[in-house]
Amino acid sequence: MLTIRYEDREIIVVEKPQGIEAQSSRSFEPDMVSLIQNHIAGREGRDTHKISTNLSTNWGKHSTKPVQKQPPYVAVIHRLDRPVAGIMVYAKTKKAAAALSSQVKEGKMEKTYYAVICGKPVDFVGNYVDYLRKNGKTNRTEIVDKKAEGGKRAELAYQVVETITREQELSLVRIRLLTGRHHQIRVQFAGRGMPLWGDNRYNPEFALGKARGSIALCAAGLSFSHPSLGKKMEYRMQPVGEAFSWFSEINR
């Protein structure tokens, strides 16, 4: 089921569920690009059927020969990890894709996340700046020295929204992502001894064979300018995941 927040001829804004790839998947499982392509193709198919029916009515005949068509154009502008839910925008034309990608590159596309971390930052509000390097073989990212080969600058700003105690201290944090690195939020908080609740990759408590739970990370806000109209587009959603329900700020 595709949850669409906005759509026109150039872009489509959707809510990506947990457990679905944001880009095309090599497996037989559904992914967001395929779901969007099927949505667009289905609507175009209905429109084509109407035209064909009209031709049949007016001319008394229509072709039944199937028409082979390429999948509709859908461009991935930004990514979310498979276990993370959130708001995403996809481009439906190459021109829109170029305009949106420029916004990402220039830092003009604002992405807001909510996360539940194990622990509490020293500062109520702060910035984390690190250099991250991805290991393609293990699909993990690590914090490295600024001068390390392959390291890329990563920055985020955070604010502690609420802290509770449930067998351990947990904090709900609002995060503005200032760069878009692989597993950035997960790695930067884990690197400071505050891994995300439910993260089976960077939180030892949730490693395979231990405690289980969906990762408490949600891309709950997205803001950008429409690629041709220039209009400010802003979208918000309720954080998705069990751990978020423990916080009164989320349940208001």
Q: Answer whether 75's CB lies under 8 Å from 90's CB.
A: yes
Question: Which portions of the chain are predicted below pLDDT 70?
Answer: 27, 43-68, 208-211, 252
Q: Which residues contact 53 (CB under 8 A, 6 or more apart)?
A: 62
Q: Answer whether 92's CB lies under 8 Å from 9's CB.
A: yes
- Give the pair of three-digit tokens for residue 152: 């890329």
pLDDT of residue 34: 93
pLDDT of residue 50: 41
Only one residue has tokens 């992914």, namely 31
Torsion sign (Cα): 116, 160, 175, 5 = positive
C-alpha–C-alpha distance, residues 139 and 37, integer Å:
27
Q: How far is CA 196 from the centre of its chain?
A: 17
pLDDT of residue 46: 54
- Give the pair of three-digit tokens for residue 61: 């005949």
Q: Please name which of 28, 33, 6, 1 lies closest in space to residue 17, comparing C-alpha atoms.
A: 1
pLDDT of residue 68: 58
Q: How far is CA 88 from the centre of its chain?
A: 5
Report pLDDT digits (tens) over 30-84.
899 999 999 999 866 554 444 344 444 454 554 455 555 788 999 999 999 899 9
Paired residues of 235 in beta bridges: 222
Paired residues of 132 in beta bridges: 143, 152
Coil, helix or strand for 145? coil
C-alpha–C-alpha distance, residues 209 and 89, integer Å:
35
**Cβ-based neighbour number of residue 39 at 10 Å:** 17
Maximum CA pair distance of the chain? 76
pLDDT of residue 167: 84
pLDDT of residue 223: 97
C-alpha–C-alpha distance, residues 121 and 128, integer Å:
11
Rounded to the nearest 5 degrees, what angle is found at the Cα of 144, between the Cα atoms of 156 and 160? 25
- Beta strand 11-16 with 85-91: parallel, antiparallel or unpaired? antiparallel
The percent of residues above 70 in pLDDT, for the chain, comes to 87
Whole-prediction pTM value?
A: 0.85
Q: What residue spans define the domains of the chain?
A: 3-251
CATH, domain range 3-251: 3.30.2350.10
pLDDT of residue 242: 87
